[in-house]
């Protein structure tokens, strides 16, 4: 069987916890964003229709902080880039993060399921284009000319995450599923571990600051700050390697 002779794919699901030590706040930790900001106001379609200026100001400010922080990838992002470069099979990073830190670390195969910073979408014509400019309800779509329909290309609550076909295709081929720095509270990402476990012989590992509610769904667990636990875990994977019949 194919899986017996070739290294199977690895899917790494990452969340806000992997970027925390690069200076980007998580969402649900005590100091997290959703403990300071009402997510219904700024991260839902209803919030957008209620008050576009409020939503756009929030993202304008976030973008400014993001730039000012001059964020850089940390040792955990670097380790995942090394895994992709050195492992013999496919490594797919499925990130819920909108930051570009995986790409900045050198990872090539990165899927941003919740959208990405630096892209704008027109709600009228659907065009997506790169832009770092601040938006306002007066912004004009460069494609269709509509006023006030430009928004960050970020998935809000109640919206369909992006690239799901590609993600499930990678999940359906993987032999190892690793979740890093995600609380496992937002679906469908939180359900990926159960999805892969339907197939025999898929190994599942949770790496996080602390156990999450999804902890019982993973076979293996490593807890601590991402910069401390991800690099040695990646080195261990590369050193042990995959052998026909298992890891
Ligand atoms: N190293 C590893 N894990 C960490 C670290 C760290 N230094 N710091 C925090 N964590 C863990 C927390 O313990 C928590 O379990 O990271 C997790 C972050 O969880 P959330 O804040 O819920 O972030 P995430 O899971 O990425 O959120 C999913 O929710 O609001 C939406 O769209 C947003 O993509 C986001 C989605």
State if residue 37 touches ligand 1 by the CB under 6 angstroms criterion.
no
114 flagged as catalytic: yes
Mutational test site, ligand 1, from 14, 16, 71, max ligand atoms within 8 Å of CB: 16
Point out the catalytic residue in the list 49, 77, 114, 221: 114
State if residue 40 touches ligand 1 by the CB under 6 angstroms criterion.
no
- Across the range 190-196, mean pLDDT stands at 98
State if residue 77 touches ligand 1 by the CB under 6 angstroms criterion.
no
pLDDT at 5 over 80: no
Q: What is the CA radius of gyration of the chain?
A: 19
Give residue-wise pLDDT tens across range 84-141: 999 999 999 999 999 999 999 999 999 999 999 889 999 999 999 999 899 999 999 9
- The CA distance from 25 to 8, in Å, is 33
Report how far ligand 1's centroid is from the alpha carbon of 180 (Å).
Answer: 9
pLDDT at 232 over 70: yes
* E runs forming strands in 29-142: 91-95, 110-112, 115-122, 128-130
pLDDT at 185 over 50: yes
- The CA distance from 26 to 17, in Å, is 6
Q: How far is CA 200 from CA 13, 241, 245, in A?
A: 20, 19, 12
- The CA distance from 94 to 185, in Å, is 16
* Element at 174 (helix H, strand E): strand 174-180
Rounded to 5°, the CA angle 61-189-229 comes to 80
- Across the range 21-34, mean pLDDT stands at 92
Note the pLDDT of residue 149.
97
Helix 75-86 crosses helix 226-240 at what angle (to 10 degrees)?
Answer: 20
Note the pLDDT of residue 1.
44
Nearest alpha-carbon partner for 228 in 7, 105, 69, 74? 74
Which residue has the least CA distance to atom 26 on ligand 1? 15
- Across the range 212-236, mean pLDDT stands at 97
pLDDT band of residue 222 (cuts 50, 70, 90) is very high
Give residue-wise pLDDT tens across range 42-94: 999 999 999 999 999 999 988 876 666 678 999 999 999 999 999 999 999 99
Note the pLDDT of residue 201.
86
| Global pTM value | 0.95
């Amino acid at each position: 069987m194919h899986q017996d002779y070739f290294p199977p794919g690895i899917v790494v699901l990452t969340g806000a916890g992997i970027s925390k030590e690069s200076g980007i706040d998580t969402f649900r930790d005590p100091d997290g964003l959703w403990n300071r900001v009402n997510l219904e106001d700024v991260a839902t379609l209803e919030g957008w229709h209620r008050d576009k200026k409020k939503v756009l100001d929030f993202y304008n400010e976030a973008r400014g902080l993001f730039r000012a922080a001059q964020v850089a990838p940390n040792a955990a992002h670097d380790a995942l880039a090394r895994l992709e470069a050195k492992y013999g099979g496919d490594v797919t990073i499925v990130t819920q993060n909108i930051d570009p830190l995986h790409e900045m670390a050198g990872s090539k195969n990165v899927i941003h399921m919740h959208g990405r910073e630096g892209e704008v979408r027109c709600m009228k014509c659907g065009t997506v284009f790169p832009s770092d400019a601040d938006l306002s309800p007066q912004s004009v779509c460069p494609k269709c000319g509509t006023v006030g329909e430009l928004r960050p290309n970020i998935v809000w609550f109640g919206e369909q995450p992006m690239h799901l076909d590609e993600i499930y295709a990678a999940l359906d081929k993987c032999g190892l599923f690793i979740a890093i720095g995600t609380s496992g509270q937002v679906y469908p990402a939180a359900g990926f571990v159960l999805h892969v476990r339907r197939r025999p012989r898929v190994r599942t590992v949770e790496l996080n600051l602390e156990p999450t509610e999804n902890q019982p769904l993973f076979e293996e667990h490593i807890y601590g700050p991402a910069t401390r636990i991800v690099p040695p875990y990646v080195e261990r994977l590369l050193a042990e390697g995959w052998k026909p019949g298992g890891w």
